[in-house]
Amino acid sequence: MTDATASPDPDDTTDALEDDLDNDLALALELADLADRAAMERFRAVDLRVDTKPDRTFVTEADLAVERAVRDLLAERRPADGVLGEEYGTQGSGARQWIVDPIDGTSNFLRGVPVWGALIALTVDGAPVVGVASMPALGRRWWGALGLGAFTTDLPGAEPRAIRVSQVGDLADASLSFQSIAQWRDAGRLEDLLALGERVWRDRAYGDLWSYCMLAEGLVDIVAEFDLKPWDIAAAVPIVEAAGGRVTSAAGAALGDGSVLATNGPLHEAVLDVLGRDAASVD
């Protein structure tokens, strides 16, 4: 007879969690399929409707359509879970929350530049545990989950392959990606960007979700940004961390002040030394 008062085997608990996350990851990939189809229907459409939100950022009819489609499927498959989306806000509450950026890189989308995509994450008690980044105009997708590893596909329908961050250990050999000079300037951190740029091998503003995907794949080594919202970064965290990387704020603390420093791990402390660990938080 089993002792009902015995503590659960930690290995059994871990296995159960990974089984649950495997099911959640499968759903996240299905949501990404749905998002890809909805967005591609309007990509480069000559009659695409574009509006300006109160914060002066753009929103297209495709952003709205993608998020509605994702929310509808989540309501069917995970009715007890909460949802936070860029366009329609927060719905529901509880420990589990899906975070959705229907089109990360809207400015690229509306100009016809193919560097954009859906970001879909699941958080549990506020911690991102599942993430999918899908860029259908490039035919690429990346995903990761706690304890399950990180993967990508190079072509639609291709076999997934596991990905890992680089092992570059010296800033002089590192590749840095960021969003824009204006973003660092507006955060009052332009001098920090210039200082970091002087220390690394090369710097490029790949921007948006692509920076984090390339970091997870070992193609760049450092990504740093400011003024991010939860939907901008939630999906990237499990992908980068499952690939062996590290994600903190720009001051080395937990995420939450709008700044992000993501690295391959070995470079993280050196980058924090350049940026200043006691730098002021960004609102």
Tens of pLDDT, residue by residue over 175-215, are 999 999 999 999 999 999 999 999 999 999 998 999 999 99
Is residue 56's pLDDT more than 50?
yes
Q: Quick check: 281 and 188 in contact, CB under 8 A?
A: no
- Computed on alpha carbons and rounded to an integer, the radius of gyration of the chain in Å comes to 19
List, for residues 25-53, the tens digit of each pLDDT value: 999 999 999 999 999 999 999 899 999 88
Domains and CATH numbers, the chain: 10-156 (3.30.540.10), 171-275 (3.40.190.80)
Predicted confidence (pLDDT) at residue 283 exceeds the cutoff of 50: no
Residue identified by tokens 């993967």 is 151
